[in-house]
């Protein structure tokens, strides 16, 4: 499929690029997308939650009352989970939430996410651009020209461009990544996907292996 190329002023350059149907035109696999996003979010969890159990709570192990004759249940230690300040029963312990997915499935998920953006007409291709110095105002002007000022947007560049990245870093609704950093979650989390011309070749190469 052909898509027109815009400049950073939002105007048509008169050129078009061919998007690979094997990457941008497949039938989306929703389950692959679900698994990839689930893995991404699971990997963000620190998993350092911890509750002290009765062996770890500070306190005396002295028997707090006699075994019989009190009219209440037996009690052997103030660290029992039954008492205030006692240890937790099967409390949370540090653990890793990460799990593995094979590369083929992850590539399918990214291709599905890209195809969804194309179907929703939320994908734009712009010519490669750069700023002389990091300047947030310049980046905001690009967003305004593309009609993305009040929308979540993801810019994908062919190579790391420090000035463009630093110009966008203060903006919560916009982010800039290279084609090698592209993830299914990042694609779907953005309302609009903006691809630079230089990123297309890398994206197709990464997802066609």
Whether the per-residue pLDDT at 108 is higher than 90: the answer is yes
Domains in the chain with CATH codes: 2-45+99-207 (3.40.1370.10), 47-96 (no CATH)
> Does residue 174 surpass a pLDDT of 90?
yes
User: Cβ atoms within 10 A of the Cβ of 64, count?
Assistant: 13
DSSP assignments along 161-193, one per residue: -HHHHHHHTT-TTEEEEEGGG--HHHHHHSSEE
Pair of tokens at residue 11: 């105007």
* 22 neighbors 34 (Cβ within 8 angstroms): no
- Cα separation, 161 vs 153, in Å, equals 17
Q: Is 172 exposed, middle or buried (0-12, 13-18, 19+ CB in 10 A)?
A: exposed
User: How far is 78 from 62, CA to CA, in rounded Å?
Assistant: 8
In b/e form, how buried is each residue of 144-166, taking b as 16+ CB within 10 angstroms? ebbebeeeebbbbbbeebebbbb
Residue in this structure with the two tokens 């593995």, named with its chain if needed: 100
Provide the CA 55 distance to its chain's centre, in angstroms.
Answer: 38
> What pLDDT, on the 0 to 100 scale, is given for residue 1?
81
- In tens, the pLDDT along 40-85 reads 999 999 999 999 999 999 988 899 999 999 999 999 899 999 999 9
In the chain, pLDDT over 70 holds for what percent of residues? 100
CA distance 157 to 142: 14
Report the predicted TM-score, pTM, of the whole model to 2 decimal places.
0.83
């Amino acid at each position: 499929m052909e898509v027109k190329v815009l400049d950073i002023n939002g105007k048509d350059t008169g050129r078009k690029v061919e998007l690979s149907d094997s990457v941008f035109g497949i039938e989306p696999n929703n389950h692959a997308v679900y698994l990839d996003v689930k893995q991404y979010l699971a990997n963000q969890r620190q998993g350092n939650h911890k509750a002290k159990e009765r062996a770890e709570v500070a306190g005396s192990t002295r028997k707090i009352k006699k075994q019989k004759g009190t009219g209440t249940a037996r009690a052997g230690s103030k660290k029992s989970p039954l008492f205030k300040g006692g240890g937790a029963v099967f409390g949370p312990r540090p653990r890793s939430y990460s799990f593995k997915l094979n590369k083929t499935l992850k590539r399918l998920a990214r291709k599905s996410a890209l195809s969804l953006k194309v179907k929703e007409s939320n994908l734009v291709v712009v010519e490669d651009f750069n700023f002389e110095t990091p300047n947030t105002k310049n980046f905001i002007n690009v967003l305004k020209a593309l009609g993305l000022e009040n929308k979540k947007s993801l810019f994908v560049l062919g190579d790391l461009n420090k000035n463009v990245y630093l110009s966008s870093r203060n903006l919560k609704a916009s982010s800039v990544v290279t084609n090698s950093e592209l993830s299914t979650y990042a694609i779907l989390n953005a309302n609009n996907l903006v691809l630079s011309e230089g990123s297309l070749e890398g994206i197709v190469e990464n997802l066609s292996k």
